[in-house]
Amino acid sequence: MTSELIKIESHQVPKLENRCRLSDYTPAKFNSVFTKKGIKKAIKKGFVTINGEIGYTADYINGGELLELYQPKIPKKRPSITITLQIIYEDDYLAIINKPAGILVSGNKKYTLENALPNNLTKSKQKDALLYPEPIHRLDYPTSGALLIGKTSKAVILLNRMFEQQQVKKKYRAITIGNQEENGIIEDPINEKPSKSEFKIIMSIPSRKYGTLNLVELIPHTGRTHQLRIHMSTIQNPILGDLKYGKEDLISMGNGLYLQSSHLSFTHPFKNNEVETAIPLPKKFSKIFPNI
Confidence of residue 2 (pLDDT cuts 50, 70, 90): very low
Domain end, chosen from 26, 41, 72, is at 72
- Residue 204, Cβ neighbours under 10 Å: how many? 17
Domain end, chosen from 130, 165, 200, is at 165
Please tell me the distance from the alpha carbon of residue 37 to that of residue 223, in angstroms, as a whole number: 13
Q: Residue 292 falls within a domain, yes or no?
A: no
Q: Cα(first)–Cα(last) distance of the chain, in Å? A: 58
179, 137: one domain: no
Q: Residue 216 falls within a domain, yes or no?
A: yes
18, 41: one domain: yes
β-partners of residue 197 are 186, 220
Residue 260 and residue 145 in contact, taking contact as beta carbons nearer than 8 Å: yes
pLDDT over threshold 70, residue 34 = no
157 DSSP 8-state letter: H
Q: 217 burial class (0-12, 13-18, 19+ CB within 10 angstroms)? A: middle
Q: What is the pTM of this model?
A: 0.76
CATH number, domain containing residue 250: 3.30.2350.10
Q: Residue 269 falls within a domain, yes or no?
A: no
Active site residues: 140
Percent of the chain with pLDDT over 70: 95
Please tell me the distance from the alpha carbon of residue 207 to that of residue 218, in angstroms, as a whole number: 21
Domain end, chosen from 165, 182, 201, is at 165
For 142-195, how does the pLDDT look when each residue is reduced to its tens digit (9 = 90+)? Answer: 999 999 999 988 898 889 889 988 999 999 999 999 999 999 999 999 999 999
Q: Summarize the confidence of residues 73-86 as an average pLDDT.
A: 80
Strand, helix or coil at 229?
Answer: helix
Q: String of b and e for 20-53 (b: at least 16 CB within 10 Å)?
A: eebbebbbebbebbbeeebbbebbeeebbbbeee
Which residue range(s) make up the domain with 57? 5-72
CATH number, domain containing residue 27: 3.10.290.10
18, 67: one domain: yes
Q: Residue 282 falls within a domain, yes or no?
A: no
Q: Summarize the confidence of residues 35-62 as an average pLDDT.
A: 88
55, 137: one domain: no
Domain count for the chain, please give it.
Answer: 3
Radius of gyration in angstroms for the set of CA atoms belonging to the chain, rounded to a whole number: 22
Confidence of residue 1 (pLDDT cuts 50, 70, 90): low
Strands (E), the chain: 5-12, 15-21, 48-50, 53-54, 60-63, 66-72, 86-90, 94-99, 129-135, 144-152, 169-177, 183-186, 197-207, 211-220, 259-267, 274-278
pLDDT at residue number 74: 63
104 DSSP 8-state letter: B
pLDDT at residue number 252: 67
